[in-house]
């Protein structure tokens, strides 16, 4: 190469190297989180005028982003951003930045991005406000038509959907002291950085800085839209105070009623829930299924697991007839599956079930909590992949049958005169299905291993084929001894010593009615 040309290229190469070396990364957010954790917590102050802070939900819904003002509307990229306006409890601004060529620039608040409908207020009052969060738009269902596929609004909450799905359960960055008698702490994402995607990109990278009185955190999310939405998460959490229960990869959902716990009042819907069970794949390979409850009192269940391979809140059963709701389409709400990357060590998965009278309250929380928490200044590292899916069978080992449904009913005895006698016991019917059962020969010797805790007497066990689903139905009848205490039950199908199914791990909460 000619010396003059080499000399001309060297500065450009040096600049390229510096740009790459100094490109924005998770390390930058982690450094911010570490510094923040070493300082006393400073709560952000509300900047909302009363017309916004006292706003009712119906009025807040009138503030809609203008489609002609979405971020990147003039760029050749499949991803676009729109923003949430401040209002109601979203009373402090969230800073949102764009990363271009490795450098971050703030996306400044502009009230012209919003249609305020018929709301009446002093327009000058909006000049000092900000964004409460943002949405990610992408043509997931139809080419050229933007659909909202991810929403980040409130504390550290976010929701994601794939093709043909509608919003249901939520995820969070972190949960602190959930389900304890003391007040729960809700860490919040205070600042975001979003990499501007290129025209050919089919993934979007988002960074977030989290803060709360007792913890800070740095997060990297890589969103991949598709039939299933995939989100790869890297979390670095620093503690600045004592935490009793630290919830990693928390999922928040709603369960009101279903076949396992029917509605106390007449309702045309057979079921109303965003999720109907907690699925766990343990480090030693066992699969567990815990149907959800809407308990009479707060209930907390723990599952000891070392190095979990996966867990999630699932919506099993996609037939519209299970829900019959044309407006809210619970049949199209996704399941969320957490797939840890690497070993998470010893700990437990906790399920918190909170009583709720209606579907407006998220009353189900599930998360991983480690036995060992990091010392001050050292991060807890948690990397995991999230699957937002309606294809629940694809999550489980194809050689393992799964629980299709759990049905609860008053226990009954068929008398000699064929009249059913209800004897005060509890009846439970569990349907198992899957290729592992469908391919068994007609004369296969399938048995059920069933156990109950000492607060119940197992009166009857019947296992029969269910030809409708090419599976098996297990019917149980139990007598509760003390209604003020829970009943724990487990059941699994086996063929000799070979497990055929996941383990059905069910709880009848205290004060469960039998009729």
What proportion of the chain, given as a percentage, has pLDDT over 90?
A: 87
CB atoms within 10 A of CB 302: 11
Cβ atoms 405, 257 nearer than 8 A: no
User: How do 498-499 and 471-480 pair as beta strands?
Assistant: unpaired
What proportion of the chain, given as a percentage, has pLDDT over 70?
A: 95
CA angle 340, 342, 348 (to 5 degrees): 55
CA angle 386, 136, 324 (to 5 degrees): 70
pLDDT value at residue 511: 83
Tell me the pLDDT tens digit for each residue of 47-56. 999 889 999 9
H or E element in which residue 288 lies: strand 287-291
* Alpha carbon distance 205, 24 (integer Å): 11
Residue 513 has pLDDT above 70, yes or no: no
* Alpha carbon distance 257, 270 (integer Å): 8
Torsion over CA: 245, 248, 251, 252 (sign): positive
> What is this structure's pTM?
0.92
How many Cα atoms occupy the beta-carbon half-sphere of 86 within 13 Å?
Answer: 23
Confidence label for 9 from pLDDT (cuts 50, 70 and 90)? very low
pLDDT value at residue 17: 36
pLDDT value at residue 384: 98
Residue 494 has pLDDT above 90, yes or no: yes
Residue 24 has pLDDT above 60, yes or no: yes
Query: Token match 């197992």: residue?
Result: 458
Length of the chain: 515
| Among the listed residues 454, 456, 425, 444, the one whose alpha carbon sits nearest the alpha carbon of residue 493 | 444
Token code pair at residue 375: 């010392």
Helix/strand/coil percentages in the chain, nearest 5? 10, 45, 45
Average pLDDT over residues 104-133: 90
Residue 18 has pLDDT above 50, yes or no: no
Average pLDDT over residues 271-283: 98
Cβ atoms 386, 248 nearer than 8 A: no
CB atoms within 10 A of CB 34: 17
pLDDT value at residue 444: 92
Tell me the pLDDT tens digit for each residue of 297-349. 999 999 999 999 999 999 999 999 999 999 999 999 999 999 999 999 999 99
CA 421 to chain centre: 42
pLDDT value at residue 55: 92
pLDDT value at residue 424: 84
| Among the listed residues 405, 403, 240, 241, the one whose alpha carbon sits nearest the alpha carbon of residue 319 | 405
* Alpha carbon distance 198, 203 (integer Å): 10
Mind listing the domains of the chain with CATH numbers? Answer: 21-395 (2.70.98.10), 402-508 (2.60.40.10)
pLDDT value at residue 194: 98
Tell me the pLDDT tens digit for each residue of 419-468. 777 788 999 999 999 999 999 998 899 999 999 999 999 999 999 999 99
User: How do 287-291 and 503-508 pair as beta strands?
Assistant: parallel
Task: Please provide the average confidence, as pLDDT, over all residues in the chain.
Answer: 92
Q: How far apart are the first and last CA of the chain?
A: 89
Residue 220 has pLDDT above 50, yes or no: yes
Residue 366 has pLDDT above 90, yes or no: yes
Residue 219 has pLDDT above 70, yes or no: yes
Torsion over CA: 488, 421, 474, 275 (sign): negative
Tell me the pLDDT tens digit for each residue of 166-196. 999 999 999 999 999 999 999 999 999 999 9
CA 458 to chain centre: 35
Largest Cα–Cα distance of the chain, in whole Å? 106
CA distances from 152 to 84, 183, 275 (A): 9, 23, 20
* Alpha carbon distance 186, 339 (integer Å): 23
* Alpha carbon distance 96, 441 (integer Å): 59
């Amino acid at each position: 190469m000619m010396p003059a040309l080499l000399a001309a290229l060297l500065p450009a190469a040096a600049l390229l190297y510096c740009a790459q070396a100094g490109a924005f990364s998770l390390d930058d957010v982690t450094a911010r989180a570490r510094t923040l954790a070493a300082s006393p917590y400073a709560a952000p102050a509300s900047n909302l005028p009363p017309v916004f802070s006292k706003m009712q939900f119906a009025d807040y819904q009138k503030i809609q982003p203008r489609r002609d003002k979405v971020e990147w509307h003039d760029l050749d990229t499949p991803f676009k951003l729109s923003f949430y306006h401040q209002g109601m409890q979203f009373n402090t601004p969230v800073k949102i930045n764009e990363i271009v060529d490795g450098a971050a620039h703030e996306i400044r608040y502009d009230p012209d991005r919003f249609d305020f409908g018929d709301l009446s207020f002093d327009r000058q009052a909006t000049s000092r406000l900000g964004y409460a969060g943002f949405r990610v738009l992408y043509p997931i269902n139809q080419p050229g038509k933007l659909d909202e596929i991810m929403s980040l609004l409130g504390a550290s909450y976010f929701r994601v959907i794939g093709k043909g799905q509608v919003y249901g359960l939520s995820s969070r960055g972190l949960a602190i002291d959930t389900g304890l008698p003391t007040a729960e702490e809700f860490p919040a994402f205070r600042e975001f950085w979003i990499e501007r995607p290129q025209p050919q990109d089919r993934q979007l990278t988002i960074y977030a800085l989290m803060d709360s009185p007792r913890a800070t955190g740095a997060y990297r999310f890589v969103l991949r839209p598709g039939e299933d939405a995939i989100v790869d998460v890297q979390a670095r959490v620093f503690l600045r105070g004592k935490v009793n229960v630290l919830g990693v990869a928390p999922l928040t959902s709603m369960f009101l009623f279903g076949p396992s716990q029917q509605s106390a009042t007449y309702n045309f819907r057979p079921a109303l829930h965003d999720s109907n069970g907690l699925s766990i794949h343990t480090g030693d390979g066992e699969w567990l299924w815990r149907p959800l409850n809407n308990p009479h009192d707060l209930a907390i269940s723990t599952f000891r697991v070392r190095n979990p391979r996966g867990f999630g809140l699932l919506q099993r059963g996609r037939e519209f007839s299970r829900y019959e709701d044309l407006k809210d389409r619970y049949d199209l709400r996704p399941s969320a599956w957490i797939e840890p990357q690497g070993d998470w060590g010893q700990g437990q998965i906790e399920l918190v079930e909170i009583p709720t009278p209606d579907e407006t309250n998220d009353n189900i929380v599930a998360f991983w909590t480690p036995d060992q928490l990091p010392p001050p200044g050292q991060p807890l590292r948690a990397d995991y992949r999230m699957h937002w899916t309606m294809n629940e069978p694809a999550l489980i080992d194809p050689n393992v049958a799964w629980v299709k449904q759990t049905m609860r009913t008053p226990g009954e005895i068929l008398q000699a005169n064929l009249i059913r006698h209800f004897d005060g016991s509890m009846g439970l019917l569990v349907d198992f299905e899957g290729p592992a059962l469908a391919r068994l020969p007609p004369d296969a010797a399938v048995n059920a291993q069933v156990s109950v805790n000492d607060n119940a007497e197992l009166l009857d066990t019947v296992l029969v084929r269910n030809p409708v689903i090419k599976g098996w139905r297990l019917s149980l009848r139990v007598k509760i001894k003390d209604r003020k205490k829970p009943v724990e039950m487990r059941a699994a199908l086996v063929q000799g010593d070979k497990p055929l199914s996941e383990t059905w791990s069910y709880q009848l909460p205290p004060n469960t009615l039998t009729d």
